[in-house]
């Protein structure tokens, strides 16, 4: 049983029953990369992808920088481990895995474009490479290796719904999830390396998982959060990978804080589109964008609320 209380979404009879047409199995793939050992790490991703694929997962999320590890000693080390996207060998292996399982994969990678490095997520599927998200909010020493993301907040249309991506620290910035939801995202795929930050966050108090559940609640989206486990160059990770629903509940996880694990659930994507809380209230259309969007400095071009 989840250690978190389920928060139900109040029913609204004026909306269509989500029915069965948008059921899909999704999975957060919790693993333990080794810093600098790309061959091992990519093999580990393929193994856990096979495990999730055998359980019928159609959408899989892997942790942040899962092909390289996270705590670099220098920019030179990060650069040596980086790859171009989608031409690099890691992305190509993930494309083959997606085709093997007829699934979609979002996975964290150390991306190189020219002389620039990015903490990125690649999205691949049976049809091949789909797109990239580059982490917007860089955490701690990441600022010494990576450039801030410059691709905005893309939303990708998949056969069962629309997805957007976050990376780890992005969850602390509500604008990220809000902009993705405003563009019609049903599911947020969050590749993470959640770390112990005393006293804010520990393995027993996964603040980031709680934040993800609240972002789901406030934006009527699912979140698939794939964290890593283990320790790396003095940094300890908290695990607790999870899948949260539009009501803020944990439909799967939080996972074990110390062990690799496939966190899997069947979700109904249509539930993310049932956004009324009462006959007169929809938090999405009730937004006063005339008052605060300009102040916040963003204008979603394709807002679907």
Reported as half-sphere exposure (CB side, CA atoms, 13 A), residue 93 has a value of: 19
Residue 302 has what pLDDT?
52
Count Cβ atoms within 10 A of the Cβ of residue 244 and give its class: 0-12 exposed, 13-18 middle, 19 or more buried.
buried
Residue 123 has what pLDDT?
99
Reported as half-sphere exposure (CB side, CA atoms, 13 A), residue 43 has a value of: 5
Residue 58 has what pLDDT?
98
What domains lie within the chain, and their CATH numbers? 23-273 (3.60.110.10)
In this structure, what are the phi and psi dihedrals at residue 299, rounded to the nearest 5 degrees?
-140, 90
Sign of CA dihedral 142, 145, 147, 149: negative
10-residue averages of pLDDT along the chain (305 residues): 42 42 91 97 99 98 98 97 98 99 98 98 98 97 96 96 97 94 95 94 93 95 98 96 96 96 96 82 82 67 53
168 is catalytic: yes
- Which residue in the list 64, 111, 142, 261 is annotated as catalytic? 64
Residue 299 has what pLDDT?
56
Residue 281 has what pLDDT?
86
135 is catalytic: yes
Q: How far out from the chain centre does Cα 163 lie? A: 9
d(CA 167, CA 119): 8
d(CA 249, CA 4): 8
- Which residue in the list 32, 83, 106, 135 is annotated as catalytic? 135
Residue 274 has what pLDDT?
80
87 is catalytic: no
């Amino acid at each position: 049983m989840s250690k978190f209380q389920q928060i139900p979404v109040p029913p609204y009879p004026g909306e269509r029953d989500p029915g069965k047409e948008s059921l899909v199995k999704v999975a957060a793939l919790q693993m333990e990369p080794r810093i600098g050992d790309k061959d091992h790490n990519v093999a580990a991703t393929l193994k856990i992808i096979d495990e999730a694929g055998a359980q019928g997962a159609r959408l899989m999320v892997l942790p942040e920088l899962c092909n390289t590890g996270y705590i670099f000693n220098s920019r030179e080390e990060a650069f040596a481990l980086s790859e171009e996207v989608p031409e690099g060998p890691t992305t190509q292996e993930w494309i083959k895995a997606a085709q093997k399982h007829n699934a979609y994969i979002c996975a964290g990678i150390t991306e190189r474009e020219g002389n620039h490095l990015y903490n990125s997520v690649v999205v691949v599927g049976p049809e091949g490479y789909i797109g990239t998200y580059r982490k917007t909010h860089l955490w701690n020493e990441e600022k010494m290796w990576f450039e801030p993301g410059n691709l905005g907040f893309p939303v990708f249309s998949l056969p069962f719904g629309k997805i957007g991506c976050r990376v780890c620290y992005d969850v602390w910035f509500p604008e990220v999830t809000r902009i993705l939801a405003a563009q019609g995202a049903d599911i947020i795929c969050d590749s993470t390396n959640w770390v112990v930050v005393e006293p804010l966050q520990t393995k027993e108090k996964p603040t980031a998982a709680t934040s993800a559940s609240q972002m789901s609640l406030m934006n009527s989206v699912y979140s698939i959060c794939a964290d890593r486990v283990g320790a790396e160059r003095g940094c300890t990770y908290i695990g607790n990978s999870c899948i949260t629903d539009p009501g803020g509940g944990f439909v799967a996880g939080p996972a074990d804080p110390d062990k690799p694990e496939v966190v899997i659930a069947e979700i109904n994507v249509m539930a993310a589109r049932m956004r009324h809380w009462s006959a007169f209230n929809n938090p999405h259309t009730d937004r006063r964008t005339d008052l605060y969007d300009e102040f916040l400095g963003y204008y979603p071009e394709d807002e679907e609320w």
